């Protein structure tokens, strides 16, 4: 496993990462509406504030999936794991990298407050080609600041991380197809059932069309 010194050198080689107000692209957590945070946690890591950096059941399922295919085909990354990876590691799918990620995830969860981890994630997550973080994505997709995002727009951004570059190609004409919109309505519904949105907010979002 690489040493902590190696990890610090890797981080130093990424000076443009928006991890503090010193970056023009950085958006403080306080500047994001609660439904933006809820959308990403619902889509990516519903147990974020409850677990210690890992979701054992998701890891078990991913391991079974990978063993059946004889390769690292599926991840099981929590928000904390994604922060550790984006800060310190390359994105290659190897067992060695995954083991290293585990060590750094454990350290991040042990030393960094949960809200700061979430803030880092929302500023580091890739949401399209050359688009990193909710602030940049809000401006790129909707021409607005992140605090102006509606629940449906937040659901759109939160649905991008599995394949941000591929999904971005899907919207390059500026339109959203019915299949994608149904996916967003489903996510909004889950947010409502979990108490993140009011019934009025859910109904309003489901009665809206997305404008990119």
Contact status, residue 34 vs residue 150, Cβ threshold 8 Å = no
Residue 143 zone, left/alpha/beta (φ > 0; ψ -120 to 50; rest): left
Q: Longest C-alpha distance within the chain, in Å?
A: 52
Task: List the end-to-end C-alpha distance of the chain, in Å, as a whole number.
Answer: 43
The set of residues, in sequence order, having a beta carbon less than 8 Å from that of 9 and lying 6+ positions away, is none
Q: From residue 38, how far is each of 49, 117, 123 by CA, in Å?
A: 11, 14, 15
Contact 42, 186 (CB under 8 A): no
Per-residue pLDDT of the chain (212 residues; tens, 9 = 90+): 444 445 444 444 455 788 888 888 899 999 999 999 999 999 999 999 999 887 766 655 545 445 455 544 445 589 999 999 888 887 666 777 777 888 889 999 999 999 999 999 999 999 999 999 999 999 999 999 999 999 999 999 999 998 999 998 888 888 899 999 999 999 999 999 999 999 999 999 999 999 89
pTM confidence score: 0.83
């Amino acid at each position: 496993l690489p040493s902590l010194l190696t990890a610090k050198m890797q981080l130093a080689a990424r000076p443009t990462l928006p991890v503090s107000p010193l970056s023009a692209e950085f958006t403080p957590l306080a500047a994001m509406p609660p439904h933006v945070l809820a959308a990403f946690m619902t889509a990516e890591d519903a147990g974020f504030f409850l677990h210690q950096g890992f979701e054992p059941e998701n890891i078990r399922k991913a391991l079974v999936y990978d063993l059946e295919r004889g390769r690292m085909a599926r991840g099981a990354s929590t928000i904390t794991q994604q922060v550790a990876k984006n800060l310190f590691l390359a994105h290659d799918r190897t067992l060695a990298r995954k083991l290293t990620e585990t060590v750094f995830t454990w350290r991040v969860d042990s030393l960094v407050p949960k809200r700061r981890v979430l803030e880092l994630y929302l500023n580091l997550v890739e949401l399209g080609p050359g688009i990193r973080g909710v602030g940049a994505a809000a401006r790129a997709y909707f021409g607005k600041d992140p605090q102006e995002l509606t629940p449906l727009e937040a659901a759109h951004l939160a649905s991008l991380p599995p394949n941000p570059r591929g999904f971005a190609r899907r919207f390059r004409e500026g339109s959203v197809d019915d299949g994608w919109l149904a996916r967003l309505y489903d996510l909004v519904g889950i947010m409502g059932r979990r108490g993140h949105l009011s019934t009025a907010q859910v109904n309003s979002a489901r009665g809206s069309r997305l404008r990119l």
